């Protein structure tokens, strides 16, 4: 029997599906939803009492103790930054704020259809993952003055992985947090149907994937847009400039072993653009779909297409 629960957490819609005939399934799903809430409470940059906000507020004050949860996500983010040569960087908090993303997205002004303006140099370089100092033995983190962390994207992927892996002890599971998905186990040997949405026509799907295990994530410049000082902005910043990406890509969908790694790879590929982004995915043996700003499509690797009709229950949304 397929059980499901839906909630809003981490600034997006979350759905959890568990195939399990036992009566305890509802209780397990409720515990999973509480786990999402707890992770958000520790990682949100919009909550002044979160562990992340307290760490950011202590920048320049020396090493700070952090919770095991924050330590796990931060160290994963720093490792992803190293592996991507800085094309993924969790220290862009102040650049995001300068761009106008200084409060929860639903509180921002209405999206604008215009393209973002060309990048301009910031007044001072206030990001750089190499500047974060960590002490694994003591689980301490030191941020220099002026540096701030944003763990929104990778934190969401990490939460999806954490909840999916925990629930998998009870049966096949799919966790979807705004398009970041993790699948563990097939239902009666059948893969889960994952519809990939047309980013330009939300009511239509491009195709349906058949996924038995692993993760899918999408990064897009279309889902979170706002106006700042008359300029159209989006949340995918290029660490090389500190400005919204101006690559030729509108969205990138990636299949990877974990939601966190898929999230990072999709963002990096989008920032690199169609040519370098596809090479980046291919070099790492990752499959994906790259969609340009004019709607052109490019696939990397062989996608596991499903024979099912469009619009299955699970829809990969464009909120990442």
Q: What is the pLDDT of residues 9-20, one digit of tens each?
A: 998 999 999 999
* Full domain range(s) for residue 96: 2-316
- What are the two backbone dihedrals, phi and then psi, of residue 189, each rounded to the nearest 5 degrees? 80, 0
The pLDDT score that the predictor gives to residue 128 is 95
Q: What is the pLDDT of residues 100-159, one digit of tens each?
A: 754 444 444 444 444 444 444 445 578 899 999 999 999 999 999 999 999 989 999 999
- What are the two backbone dihedrals, phi and then psi, of residue 119, each rounded to the nearest 5 degrees? -65, 145
Q: How many Å apart are CA 245 and CA 213, to the nearest integer?
A: 31
The pLDDT score that the predictor gives to residue 5 is 96
pLDDT over 90 (residue 311): no
- Which structure tokens are listed for 132? 């974060």
Q: What is the pLDDT of residues 194-204, one digit of tens each?
A: 999 888 887 88
Q: How many Å apart are CA 123 and CA 127, to the nearest integer?
A: 12
**CB contact set of 106 (below 8 Å; sequence gap of 6+):** 11
Please report which confidence band the pLDDT of residue 243 belongs to, taking 50, 70 and 90 as the band edges: confident
Least confident window among 62-71, 219-228, 242-251, 298-307: 219-228
Q: How many Å apart are CA 253 and CA 320, to the nearest integer?
A: 10
pLDDT over 60 (residue 167): yes
Which of the given ranges, 62-71, 204-213, 309-318, has the highest pLDDT on average? 62-71
Q: How many Å apart are CA 89 and CA 134, to the nearest integer?
A: 16
Global pTM reads 0.86
Q: In the chain, how many domains are there?
A: 1
- Report how far apart, in Å, the C-alpha atoms of 86 and of each of 59, 222, 268, 272, 294 are: 21, 23, 9, 12, 28
pLDDT over 60 (residue 226): no
The pLDDT score that the predictor gives to residue 112 is 41
- Report how far apart, in Å, the C-alpha atoms of 88 and of each of 57, 96, 178 are: 22, 14, 20
CATH assignment of the domain containing 81: 3.10.520.10
The pLDDT score that the predictor gives to residue 232 is 52
Which of the given ranges, 93-107, 185-199, 219-233, has the highest pLDDT on average? 185-199
pLDDT over 80 (residue 287): yes
Q: CB atoms < 10 A from the CB of 93, how many?
A: 23
- Which structure tokens are listed for 277? 């982004």
């Amino acid at each position: 029997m397929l059980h499901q629960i839906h909630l809003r957490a981490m600034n997006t819609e979350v759905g959890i599906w568990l195939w399990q005939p036992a009566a305890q399934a509802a209780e397990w799903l409720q515990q999973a939803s509480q786990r999402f809430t707890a992770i958000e409470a520790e990682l949100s940059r919009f909550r002044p009492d979160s562990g992340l906000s307290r760490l950011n507020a202590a920048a320049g004050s020396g090493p700070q103790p952090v919770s095991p949860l924050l330590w796990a996500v931060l160290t994963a983010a720093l490792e992803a930054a190293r592996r991507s040569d800085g094309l993924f960087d969790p220290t862009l908090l102040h650049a995001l704020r300068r761009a106008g993303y200084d409060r929860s997205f639903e509180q921002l002004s209405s999206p604008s259809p215009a393209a973002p303006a060309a990048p301009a140099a910031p007044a001072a370089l206030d990001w750089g993952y190499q500047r974060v100092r960590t002490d694994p033995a003591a689980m301490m983190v030191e941020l220099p003055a002026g540096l701030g962390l944003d763990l929104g994207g990778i934190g969401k992927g990490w939460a999806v992985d954490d909840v999916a892996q925990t629930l998998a002890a009870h049966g096949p599971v799919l966790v979807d947090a705004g398009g970041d998905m993790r699948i563990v186990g097939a239902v009666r040997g059948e893969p889960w149907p994952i519809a990939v949405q047309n980013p330009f026509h939300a009511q239509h799907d491009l195709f349906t994937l058949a996924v038995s295990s692993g993760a899918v994530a999408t990064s897009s410049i279309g889902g979170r847009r706002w106006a700042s000082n008359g300029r159209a902005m989006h949340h995918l910043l290029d660490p090389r400039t500190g400005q919204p990406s101006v690559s030729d890509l509108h969205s990138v969908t990636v299949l990877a072993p974990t939601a966190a790694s898929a999230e990072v790879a999709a963002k990096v590929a989008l920032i690199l653009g169609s040519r370098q982004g596809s090479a980046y995915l291919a070099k790492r043996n990752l499959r994906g779909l790259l969609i340009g700003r004019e709607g052109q499509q490019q696939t990397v690797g062989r996608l596991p297409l499903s024979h099912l009709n469009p619009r299955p229950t699970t829809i990969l949304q464009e909120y990442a």
